[in-house]
Structure 1
Amino acid sequence: MSEERENETEAINSIYGADTLIQSDEPGVYILSLSEYETSLRVSFPRDYPASIPHVLGTESTGESTRKGYGKYICDNARDILQRIFSPGSVCLFDLLQELDTSLIEGSSDQLPASPSDQEQQADNVLNTGPPLPPNLEEPPQWSLSAPITEKKSTFLARACTVTSPVHARACISHLLATDKRASKATHNITAYRIRIPASASTNEVVYQDYDDDGETAAGGRLLHLLQRMDVWGLLVVVSRWYGGIKLGPDRFSIINNIAREAVIEGGWTRSRIMKD
């Protein structure tokens, strides 16, 4: 196994669960488990991956309560997404899982295979978008994501979204932890936000800036300092860390800031110079 594929496997299993991606008895073939959809897929990796695209060979298994044909539906979605997102030289499984989750949640019922009436409610539950929005959130936040980074068995992932007030920022964090099991199981969810409300004829400019280490001492303040250096406003950044049992020392701060910067730039909050630590 190449170092890139090994790191990708560690990242996937840190974020999604220890047995999400495991090697099968066949050389180069892995089982990708989609536990929320009671389905697992067989994925083949060419020897030179990530230079060449992996292939979804088929369905490994489906749960007893899933719709007839639902495994094939997921398999076909996964193949289509891989063809669209794959870029030679870049690992792609994390992007595949993110895109597949979105596709399955947003898929309309007329796209799904027919099923007996006693399975209709179960299928509806599979496609449910989650709990109701918090009262201070009119619509789900649109997160911009970094690529996950794994270092000494710890995995890091950054998200950024637009926010308009401290109340809005806290609602976005609550929604993330309520709807994303992976984020809720992270060892730390480090947050920082910067919000500026322009002056009006009757009010002065109002600035809000805050952070939360969530147990990762000093990380939140450094994250806020990064946003200040980048001179970006109106956004919340959340960096999740799944601790792997090996201390990283000061290196963790560089990783946190680098992936946070990636999420901010990916979301279009700044198109100017990329800051260097």
Structure 2
Amino acid sequence: MSEALLDEISALNSIYGPTTLLPSPSDPDPTIYILTLPPLNPSSSPAPSSSLRVQFPPTYPDVPPVILSTHSSNPSLPRGTAARDLSLFRDAVSAVYNPSQVCLFDAVESFNELLSAITSSSPVRSSRSPSPESAAPPPRPQDQIQSEKEPPWVLSVPFTELKSTFLARIAPVTSVSQAKSYLSHLLSTDKKVRSATHNITAWRIRGENGTSYQDCDDDGETAAGGRLLHLMQVMDLWDVMVVVTRWYGGQKLGPRRFALINMAARDGFVRAGLVAEEGRDQGRKKGK
């Protein structure tokens, strides 16, 4: 198995859950895996759409993966869903594959877009209702920002790989304006954070009268904010924001960067006491 495939498996399982891509338990061929497709909206039913049998040739990613067949379908879904998902995912792989580049993450994203188009429902990136609460706050004087009390950040351990470093900050928030204020304060008062390559953010907030607000920002790291928001949805976290800062080390990480972003966020959530202690001290510094 190539190092590129190992990194891709790690990234997918970190982003979408630890059972997303696993060796097939019923196939003697070790190149066959079971890919469980993530739901469009992980915070509501139904559970994952279907699972597929995927074969990775020994020369992958120089050649594309082979999408062999369906593996199973959620029994609560309409008949024919598995066949539909198989066809859509094959189309997605064909659309995104480039020789010598891993493609499963991009294929899953493309599949979700295709599925969203035919079901007339978009993947959740923001469930905000039109409200003054969701409007961008007016600019504030620099001295006012710097005089404000430091937000109650809880920091993750730093994760470093190939000289790129990822660090998450977690803070409780009760309103969108508070979340934006915390981010403004961080960027205005911490020069090292302000000069970082990316500051990826996500938050989920319960408002009054059953309203809720969730949003994210890639800050130039395409799809990273959506992955952070997806992680918070899977973990059912509310009234909290996360900022993952990345300092680029000069070497591309490929899909592995999404795993590192989520690893930093998970560690921060654990240290903030929002999730169980499992996996707390998994941070490792590499490349130094």
TM-score scaled by length of structure 1? 0.50
Q: Give CA deviations for 1:74-132 in whole Å, capped at 9, x if unaligned.
A: 111111111111011111111111121222223246xxxxxxxxxxxxxxxxx575473
* Offset of residue 156 of structure 1: 7.1
Question: Which secondary structure state, in structure 2, belongs to the residue aligned with residue 95 of structure 1?
Answer: helix
In 1, distance between residues paired with 2:53 and 2:166?
A: 26
Q: Is the 8 Å Cα contact of residues 183 and 189 (structure 1) preserved in structure 2?
A: no
In 2, distance between residues paired with 1:150 and 1:186?
A: 27
* Offset of residue 151 of structure 1: 5.4
2:230 corresponds to = 181
Residue 117 (structure 2) aligned to one of 106, 120, 137:
106
In structure 1, stretches of 5+ residues that fail to align are 110-126, 139-148, 159-164, 192-212, 214-219, 227-238, 255-277
1:27 corresponds to = 30
* Offset of residue 181 of structure 1: 3.3
1:197 corresponds to = none
In 2, distance between residues paired with 1:59 and 1:18?
A: 20
Q: Is the 8 Å Cα contact of residues 160 and 284 (structure 2) preserved in structure 1?
A: no
CA distance change for structure 1 residues 250 and 63 in 2, over 3 Å: closer, same or farther? closer
1:4 corresponds to = 4
* Offset of residue 27 of structure 1: 2.9
Residue 75 (structure 1) aligned to one of 60, 74, 86:
86
Question: Which secondary structure state, in structure 1, belongs to the residue aligned with residue 14 of structure 2?
Answer: helix
Q: Is the 8 Å Cα contact of residues 81 and 100 (structure 1) preserved in structure 2?
A: yes
2:284 corresponds to = 248
Question: Which secondary structure state, in structure 2, belongs to the residue aligned with residue 107 of structure 1?
Answer: helix
Code of the residue aligned with 1:54 in structure 2: it is P
CA distance change for structure 1 residues 34 and 250 in 2, over 3 Å: closer, same or farther? closer
2:143 corresponds to = none
In 1, distance between residues paired with 2:64 and 2:31?
A: 13
Question: Which secondary structure state, in structure 1, belongs to the residue aligned with residue 22 of structure 2?
Answer: strand
* Offset of residue 16 of structure 1: 1.0
Residue 57 (structure 1) aligned to one of 68, 71, 82:
68
1:89 pairs with 2:100: yes
Structure with the greater relative contact order (CA < 8 A, sep ≥ 6): 1 or 2? 2
Say which is worse superposed, 43-52 or 97-106, in terms of deviation. Answer: 97-106
CA distance change for structure 1 residues 157 and 55 in 2, over 3 Å: closer, same or farther? farther
Q: Is the 8 Å Cα contact of residues 40 and 59 (structure 1) preserved in structure 2?
A: yes
Q: Is the 8 Å Cα contact of residues 160 and 286 (structure 2) preserved in structure 1?
A: no
Q: Is the 8 Å Cα contact of residues 89 and 107 (structure 2) preserved in structure 1?
A: yes
Question: Which secondary structure state, in structure 1, belongs to the residue aligned with residue 115 of structure 2?
Answer: helix
After superposition, the CA RMSD in angstroms is 4.4
CA distance change for structure 1 residues 59 and 186 in 2, over 3 Å: closer, same or farther? same
* Offset of residue 172 of structure 1: 6.2
Residue 55 (structure 2) aligned to one of 44, 53, 67:
44
CA distance change for structure 1 residues 35 and 17 in 2, over 3 Å: closer, same or farther? same
In 1, distance between residues paired with 2:62 and 2:109?
A: 21
In structure 2, stretches of 5+ residues that fail to align are 40-47, 136-158, 169-178, 185-200, 205-213, 217-225, 249-260, 268-278
* Offset of residue 246 of structure 1: 3.3
In 1, distance between residues paired with 2:14 and 2:103?
A: 16
In 1, distance between residues paired with 2:160 and 2:95?
A: 25
Code of the residue aligned with 1:42 in structure 2: it is R
